[in-house]
Amino acid sequence: MTQFSLLQRQIIESPPGVRLFVTGMAGTGKTTAGVERINHLLASGVPADSILLLTPQRTLQEPYLDLLESPERIAGGEVTSATVGGLARRMCDLFWSLASEQAGFKNPDQPPVFLTLETAQYFMAHLVRPLIEEKGYFDSVTISRNRLYSQILDNLNKAAIIGIPHTEIGSRLDSAWFGDPAQRRVYADAQECAALFREYCYEYNLLDFSLQLELFNTRLWRNERVRSYLTRSYRHLVYDNLEEDISCAHNIMREWLPEFDSALLLYDQAAGYRKFLGGDPASGLDLSRECDQVVELNESFVSSGNIIQLSNALHNAITREGEVGTGETEPALEFIMRHFHPEMLDEAVKKIQTLIENGAPPAEIVILAPYLSDSLRFSITHRLEAAGIPWRSNRPSRSLRDEPASKCLLTLSALAHPQWNIRPPKFDVTHALMFALHTDLVRAQLLTDIIYRQSDLRLSTFDNIKAEVQERITYSLGSRYATLQNWIETCRASMPMPLDFFLRRLFGEVLSQPGFGYHSNLDAVRIAASLVESVRKFRNAMEPMTNLNLTGLTGADQEPGTLREDLSGFPLGKEYIAMLQDGVIAAQYLESWRSENKDAVLVAPAYTFLMMNRPAAFQFWLDPGSDGWSQRVAQPLTHPYVLSREWDASPGRLWLDADEMALETEALARLVGGLLARCREKIFPALSDLGAAGFEQRGSLLRAFQKVLIEQ
């Protein structure tokens, strides 16, 4: 039986008609109280479908979903778990007829097509690519195409969040710019591309996140029928991590709160990790004025006294506010220092192995870095595997094309669909067979050299291989290969099916069976599930367009925004693979957060760990001397702080170096405080004299550590 503090008990059992605003640092039991509050409401006879659970990001709902999906839960009805963006999508779908014609859509009698981040990038790419290649747009920008497309979409999202017309994005960015005049042309190009994409959405009923949000905020929420539907449907609210939500969500809640029979709002002090995505802690805190009571939780159920002292000392060292005053922080802090970067990683893994041997569960250990590159991820996970340590990794923005498990599935898909005329190189086929058949690189390469010819896109049978070579490959591997090859040949001879159907069958009938690569690889299963969901959403977005002969595709010989009309036999599977080859940034899939092996060491970017909202006993901070802990990613087409509600857009206000420095200091203080609030016992900063690139590092976080150690 879980024990609750007196304040937690008061929150959980608060009477109907009370709207509570609960604030406190991470680890003080706010989410625990929120979960138990829903349990209390259900036990009190409140209909589940009258309860609305809101979070700014779906991944933050996991503790609640554990309750709602547990077999012990009281039967009857379902609690609605959503984000404000999810509510916007539902209302746009349900009340499309009320908004479509009034908003100016050209086909209001046709249903809307909802876009994911991936499908929005797909359409953006086909509109913008001709402008780049033929008219020289963004010629001074050196970032990859996928980042370019996503930043234009991000501009549209930010405009919808703060409620400015999308036509003012470029002028707002330009007015704050102080530097190279060539950047002004970049902002003008980004504005034109955003306007072109928005016009295209109106032309063909495409609803990306920004347009869903805009329709909901400016039209549907203002409609009496829509508002009445929402206020009648939901009588009780639990709104967790509201400091990470967007300002327009807070505006809606401000008007909606008086209509609820009860409301519990949970606010994490000193957070705001999603500010670069539009999160607005200041407007979230303003909601406390609309509540009947404000409760502050001060007792941490996670951090030890030494961790709290270290957190305070680091905060003061970073912000230069007050005395560092460390007290005794040494038990909470242990440095791992080596000269070269690989040596540092070796030592970190040895320390993890020692912790596990001494009884620490792998799930209580996390390895964090400001950014998790492919090379760093491989270097860490390879060492963990060699030491026999279970691990899991999460990088939400990593493209599906970069994951070996999805590359294997896509390569096999191309081999099973010769009509696509996608000819995988031998290198890809070798790695696909290595992964699918659960074998080593040498045997996979030997097998590929014999059975695959890129010219005819066909895999020959294992029986045709010479007997002595079969023995080298092994008959066990040959049996698995024969099963896969026969299955692919059967698919080639049958009627084509949608790619997501094909992937489900390939996974279920072959690759998940004993002996194959996905059978016991939970990380591969997670990636496969995300890939299938991505393909399904791509098909759902594209099929209505193909049925109307409106694909949104721009041929090389066409003007931007014009359409290819002849779509007979249009291969959506081939188009999806082409989209991934463009390197689109992956949308967020819950499978990547929920279906992973929890009893394993987590390897993740620091901000990803924060948005998991879970504690760990031991944290390893890699490369504290890196500037990545404090500096934001360069975004030449956008600016998350100029495109925010807090920005003073008055004439003459410029974004200067002083603003950037203040931002870096604030962001680093929030990041360090958030990580330490989620640490039970000890952190291990792991640094090398020379970083991964071979240069000495002297970032702000390392200087703060040095100041803390000097003051001890």
Q: Which two tokens stand for residue 537?
A: 């959403």
Which DSSP string do the residues of 137-185 spell out, in sequence order?
Answer: TTTT--S-HHHHHHHHHHHHHHHHHHT--GGGHHHHHHHH--S-THHHH
What angle (nearest 5°) sits at the alpha carbon of residue 690, between those of residues 396 and 708?
A: 80
Residue 365's contacts (CB-CB under 8 Å, 6 or more residues apart) are 352, 355, 356, 601, 602, 616, 617, 618, 619, 620
pLDDT of residue 323: 62
3-state secondary structure of 350: helix
* Domain covering 6-90+223-297 in this structure, CATH number: 3.40.50.300
160-212: pLDDT as tens digits: 999 999 999 999 999 999 888 999 999 999 999 999 999 999 999 999 999 99
pLDDT of residue 559: 45
Q: Is the per-residue pLDDT at 588 higher than 70?
A: no
Higher pLDDT among residues 613 and 637, named by residue = 637
d(CA 339, CA 337): 7
pLDDT of residue 126: 87
656-675: pLDDT as tens digits: 999 999 999 999 999 999 99
Which DSSP state fits 292?
S
User: Please, is 482 exposed, middle or buried when counting C-beta atoms within 10 Å of its C-beta (0-12, 13-18, 19+)?
Assistant: middle
| Residue 239 host element (H or E) | strand 236-239
Give the number of other CB atoms < 10 A from CB of residue 382: 12
Using alpha carbons, select from 686, 698, 518 the residue that is nearest to residue 618: 686
pLDDT of residue 565: 32
Q: Measured on CA atoms in the order 268, 269, 273, 275, is the torsion positive or negative? A: positive
Give the number of other CB atoms < 10 A from CB of residue 199: 12
R_g (Cα) of the chain, nearest Å: 27
Q: Which two tokens stand for residue 522?
A: 């939970």
pLDDT band at 83 (very low <50, low <70, confident <90, very high): very high
434-464: pLDDT as tens digits: 999 999 999 999 999 999 988 878 889 888 8
Q: Is the per-residue pLDDT at 327 higher than 70?
A: no
CATH superfamily, region 330-399+596-711: P-loop containing nucleotide triphosphate hydrolases (3.40.50.300)
Which DSSP string do the residues of 424-476 spell out, in sequence order?
Answer: --HHHHHHHHHHHTT--HHHHHHHHHHHEETTTTEEPPGGGS-HHHHHHH-HH
Q: Measured on CA atoms in the order 177, 178, 182, 183, is the torsion positive or negative? A: negative
Please give the sequence-ordered ranges of beta strands (E in DSSP) within 244-394, or none if there are none: 262-268, 293-297, 336-338, 365-369, 391-393
- Kindly report the three-state secondary structure assignment for every residue of 587-602: CCCCHHHHCCCCCCEE
Share of the chain above pLDDT 70, in %: 91
Q: Is the per-residue pLDDT at 314 higher than 90?
A: yes
> Which whole number is the average pLDDT over 34-49?
93
d(CA 627, CA 625): 7
Q: Give the mean pLDDT of the chain.
A: 88
Q: Is the per-residue pLDDT at 652 higher than 90?
A: no
Q: Which two tokens stand for residue 323?
A: 């005395």
Q: Is the per-residue pLDDT at 326 higher than 80?
A: no
526-582: pLDDT as tens digits: 889 888 988 988 888 887 766 544 444 444 334 443 333 333 346 788 888 888 877
560 within 8 A of 527, measured Cβ to Cβ? no
d(CA 445, CA 79): 52
Domain boundaries, the chain: 6-90+223-297, 96-216, 330-399+596-711, 400-582
3-state secondary structure of 301: coil
6-90+223-297 and 330-399+596-711: identical CATH topology: yes
pLDDT band at 324 (very low <50, low <70, confident <90, very high): low
pLDDT of residue 567: 37
364 within 8 A of 618, measured Cβ to Cβ? yes
